[in-house]
Amino acid sequence: MKNIPLSIPNVCGNEVKYVSETLADGWISAVGPYVSKFENAMKEYIGSNGAVAVASGSAALHLAYLEAGVGLGDVVLVPALTFIASVNPVAYLKAEPYFIDVDDTLCMDPVKLEAFLTNKCLFENGIVKIKENNKRVKAICVVDIFGNLADYERINEIASKYNLVVIEDAAEAVGSYQIKSDGTKQYAGTFTDYGCFSFNGNKIMSTGGGGMVFAKDTEHLEHIRFLSTQAKSNAWYFYHDEVGFNYRLSNTAAAIGVAQLENLENFVKQKHILYDTYKAIFEKNGIEMLSFRDNIRANKWFFSILWNEDNKLSRDELMAKLKERGIETRPVWGLINEQKPYQNCGHDDLERTYYYKNKIVNIPCSTNLTVEDAEYVANEIIKLKNGE
Ligand SMILES: Cc1ncc(COP(=O)(O)O)c(C=O)c1O
C-alpha cells in the first residue's frame, strides 16, 4: 500500500556535508559560524536589514510581541484561523487576543479589521481602546496562511492610522513574495514592523526546529538578538539588566538551514508543479482548490481542497477513507477562539473563518512528492467523491 505523508522535510542538498563540519569541529551549540552564515544568507534572500536566528517560530513570535511592547492587560488583534503558536505568546506576555475574521486569502480581512477599529473602538491621544471593556489594543498579528499573503498595503495603512504595531507571522510563507508596481519583489517577513519565520519539520524549509525574527527597525532587531541570548549586559561578568531567554538556534541546526536555503527556490518550483498537477485534475472534476492571491509568488506551502458538504461523503469520512488508501490529510486547525485557554476572549464576526474551517482538507504537498503520487492522490479523492 502507498504511504504518502502530508508534509515532510526534503533533505537533498548539502545538509550532511555542513552538519558533518559542525560535528567534526565540535561547534554544535549556538556558538559557531553557521548561525551568522544562516542569518546573513536569509537576510540577503529576503532583502531585510538583518535577521536573528532562534530556536523556533514560537520563540520568534514571543520576542517580536515582547519587543513590540505587548504586555499586561493589552489586547492583540489576531485571526482565529491559525496555528495556536501565533497566539500563545500573547498569553505568555499576560495580554489577550481578540479575534478578527479572515478574507478569501485566509489572511486577516483588512475591511473587517478597519470596521472593528472604527466602530467598536475609541481612538484618543494615539491610543485605541475597545469600547465594550476599555481594554487597550496594542498590536495586530497577521498570519500568512499556507504561504499566502495578506493585503499588507491596506493593513499597514490602517495600523498607522490607529498607531498600532503589526507583526507578520510568516512562519508558513518563507520564500513568498509580492511583486510591487515597480517590478521589485517584497518578501514575506518584511511587510510589517516585525516578521517571524518557522523552520519546523513540516515547513517548506526546515532546520528540524528553528525560527527567525526580522524587524524594520535595526535597534529593535538588535535588542531581540540580545534578549534571545539571555540579555547579557556584560558577557564576561554575567551581568543581566533585563530578563532574557535561551532562544538561540544551534550551529548544527543553522548548518541545515544554510543547506535548505540553497534549495528553497527548487522547493518552491516543485510546490508549484504539484499544485498545478492537482488543480488540473480537480478542476475537471468539480473540486475547488484554495487559490493564492494574484500578483504574488506564493511559496504554496500547503494545498487545500474545499470539501463540499453536499458530497456523498462527509469531510471526516473522506479523510478516514484516504488514510485507508495510504494518504495522509488533515483538516484545518481547531479555531483559536474555541480552544480552552481562549474561549473567553473577545471576537468579531467570524463568518469567513467558520466557512473555511468546515470545508478545508489539506492534502499531501511535500517537496519530495512525485507528480505521479500527486495524480494518485487526486484520483483517489475523485473516486471517493464519486462513491467508488
Ligand atoms: C502560522 C504558524 N505560526 C507559528 C508557528 C510556530 O512555529 P514553530 O513550530 O517553529 O514554533 C507555526 C508552525 O509551527 C505556524 O504554522
Q: How far is the CA of 56 from the centre of ligand 1 (A)?
A: 8
Q: How far is the CA of 211 from the centre of ligand 1 (A)?
A: 9
Q: How far is the CA of 279 from the centre of ligand 1 (A)?
A: 26
> What percent of the chain has a predicted confidence (pLDDT) above 90?
95
Strands 194-198 and 296-297: unpaired
| Predicted local distance difference test score (pLDDT) of residue 310 | 77
> What percent of the chain has a predicted confidence (pLDDT) above 70?
100
| Predicted local distance difference test score (pLDDT) of residue 323 | 97
The 10s digit of each residue's pLDDT in 88-100 is 999 999 999 999 9
Order across the sheet with 185-187: list the strands.
185-187, 177-179, 296-297
CA distance 276 to 374: 10
CA distance 385 to 388: 7
pLDDT category at 264 given cuts 50, 70, 90 is very high
CB distance 85 to ligand 1 below 6 Å: yes
CB burial of 84-117 (b: ≥16 within 10 Å; e: otherwise) equals ebbbbbbeebebbbbbbbbbebbbbbbebbbebb
Q: Give Cα separations from 273 to 5, 105, 177, 188 (angstroms).
A: 18, 20, 18, 21
C-beta of residue 192 within 8 angstroms of C-beta of residue 142: yes
Q: How far is the CA of 197 from the centre of ligand 1 (A)?
A: 8
Over 90: is that where the pLDDT of 309 sits? no
CA distance 53 to 242: 20
Q: What is the mean pLDDT of residues 63-68?
A: 98
Q: Give Cα separations from 11 to 56, 104, 207, 317, 375 (angstroms).
A: 19, 33, 10, 33, 23
CB distance 200 to ligand 1 below 6 Å: yes
CB distance 82 to ligand 1 below 6 Å: yes
CB burial of 300-339 (b: ≥16 within 10 Å; e: otherwise) equals bbbbbbbbeeebeeebeebbeebeeeebbbebbbebbbee
How many CA atoms lie within 13 Å of 331's alpha carbon, on the beta-carbon side?
A: 17
CB distance 207 to ligand 1 below 6 Å: no
CB distance 348 to ligand 1 below 6 Å: no
- Name beta bridge partners: 246: 229
CB distance 144 to ligand 1 below 6 Å: no
Over 90: is that where the pLDDT of 181 sits? no
Which atom of ligand 1 is the closest one to the Cα of 145? 1
| Predicted local distance difference test score (pLDDT) of residue 311 | 77
pLDDT category at 231 given cuts 50, 70, 90 is very high
Closest CA to 116 of 82, 64, 75: 75
CA distance 367 to 345: 38
CB burial of 19-35 (b: ≥16 within 10 Å; e: otherwise) equals bebbeeeebeebebebb
Sign of CA dihedral 198, 201, 202, 206: positive
Q: What is the mean pLDDT of residues 118-145?
A: 98
Higher pLDDT, 17 or 295: 17
Which atom of ligand 1 is the closest one to the Cα of 209? 10
The 10s digit of each residue's pLDDT in 94-127 is 999 999 999 999 999 999 999 999 999 999 999 9
CB distance 152 to ligand 1 below 6 Å: no
Q: What is the mean pLDDT of residues 335-347?
A: 98
Extract the C-alpha cell encoding 194: 516585525
Q: How far is the CA of 134 from the centre of ligand 1 (A)?
A: 31
pLDDT category at 8 given cuts 50, 70, 90 is very high
Q: Where are the alpha helices (DSSP H) in 9-151?
A: 15-25, 33-46, 57-67, 88-92, 110-119
CA distance 47 to 186: 8
| Predicted local distance difference test score (pLDDT) of residue 30 | 86
CA distance 57 to 143: 12
Angle (CA) 260 267 294, round 5°: 125
| Predicted local distance difference test score (pLDDT) of residue 234 | 96
Closest CA to 106 of 282, 292, 286, 301: 292
| Predicted local distance difference test score (pLDDT) of residue 312 | 84
Of 23-32, 158-167, 316-325, 326-335, minimum mean pLDDT range: 23-32
CB distance 148 to ligand 1 below 6 Å: no
Mutate to test the pocket of ligand 1, among 83, 105, 174, 330 (most ligand atoms within 8 A of CB): 83
Q: What is the mean pLDDT of residues 157-178?
A: 98
Q: What is the mean pLDDT of residues 190-197?
A: 98
Over 80: is that where the pLDDT of 129 sits? yes
Extract the C-alpha cell encoding 104: 478569501
| Predicted local distance difference test score (pLDDT) of residue 153 | 96
CB distance 169 to ligand 1 below 6 Å: yes
Domains of the chain by start residue, with CATH: 15-262 (3.40.640.10), 264-385 (3.90.1150.10)
Mutate to test the pocket of ligand 1, among 61, 174, 198 (most ligand atoms within 8 A of CB): 198
> Whose C-alpha lies nearest to ligand 1, atom 10?
57
How many CA atoms lie within 13 Å of 262's alpha carbon, on the beta-carbon side?
A: 13
Q: Which residue has 469531510 as its cell numbers?
A: 315
Which atom of ligand 1 is the closest one to the Cα of 198? 10
For the chain, the average pLDDT equals 97
Question: How many residues make up the chain in this entry?
Answer: 388
CA distance 77 to 138: 8
| Predicted local distance difference test score (pLDDT) of residue 287 | 96
Q: How far is the CA of 123 from the centre of ligand 1 (A)?
A: 32
